[in-house]
Amino acid sequence: MEKKIALYCCENSAYKAAACLTGPELQKGIEIIKLPCTGKMEINLILKTLEQGYAGVLVAGCPIDNCKYIRGSSRAEKRIEKTRELLKAAGIPEQRVRMEFLSSVDSHKLAGAIKEMKQELEGVMS
């Protein structure tokens, strides 16, 4: 079976955008997980997700300036960057973890990011 992408969404923005993803090719191969804020996204959660056999982790939160909890997105961004560094150091392709900033109406951006990530993963995982 094809490996899936875990899509961690902030419930205030990206989760709503994810609800509007249409088309079977987009919905196939992703698992949507709700978070109160991307600021809750911990490094160990990402690693555990990868450990469970997911091909990639895409964290999607509010735009930096418009985080409902003011600093959540900027905190998450730093953490995701750190996780990518950790993966790189361990010899795991860093493309497996990615962060996107979008508002609840930006489902097209999310769709684009998922497509792009799928392509990237195909390249590095094969």
Partner 1 sequence: MNRESIGVIICSCSGRNLGKQEIDSITQRLSFAESGIRNMIIETALCGEDTLKSLRNEVEKKGISSLIIAGCGAARISGVTEKIADALSFAPSSILGVPLFYSEGAESEKNKLGINEARVDKAVRGISRGMNVLTSQEPLEIEEIPVVQRALVIGGGAAGIYTADALNRFGHETVLVEKKDSLSDYGIDEKKLKDLEGVIIHTGSSLVSLEGSKGNFSACVKTPGGLEEYQAGAVVIASGAPVPADPKKYLQNRFGSSSAVPLFSLATAYSGLPRIPSLRRIGILLDLDRDEGRASTQMALHAAQEIQKPNAAEVFLFLRDARVGSLHLEELYDAVRDMGVTIVKYSGEAKISSLETGLQVTVQDDGLGVLTDYTCDLLGISPFGCAAEEDDPLSEITGVHLDDYGQFQDNNIQLMPVETNIPGIFTAGGGRGEVYSPKVKQEALAAAGEVHFLLKNKTLHLERSEAQVDPDKCILCLTCIRCCPHGAMHVNREDGVAECSTAACQRCGICAGECPAKAISLPVWTDEIVLNQL
52 binds partner 1 (CB under 8 A): yes
Query: Could you tell me if 38 and 8 are in contact, meaning their C-beta atoms sit under 8 angstroms apart?
Result: yes
Query: Could you tell me if 14 and 61 are in contact, meaning their C-beta atoms sit under 8 angstroms apart?
Result: yes
Size of the site for partner 1 (CB under 8 A): 43
2 binds partner 1 (CB under 8 A): no
Could you identify the residue written with the tokens 């996204």?
Answer: 41
56 binds partner 1 (CB under 8 A): no
Q: Which of 99, 103, 62, 57 is nearest to 77 (CA)?
A: 99
121 binds partner 1 (CB under 8 A): no
Contacts of 92 by beta carbon, 8 Å cutoff, 6+ apart: 50
71 binds partner 1 (CB under 8 A): yes
20 binds partner 1 (CB under 8 A): yes
Q: Which range of residues in 39-47, 87-95, 109-117, 118-126 is near partner 1 by CB under 8 A?
A: 39-47
Q: Smallest gap, in angstroms, from Cβ of residue 14 to partner 1?
A: 10
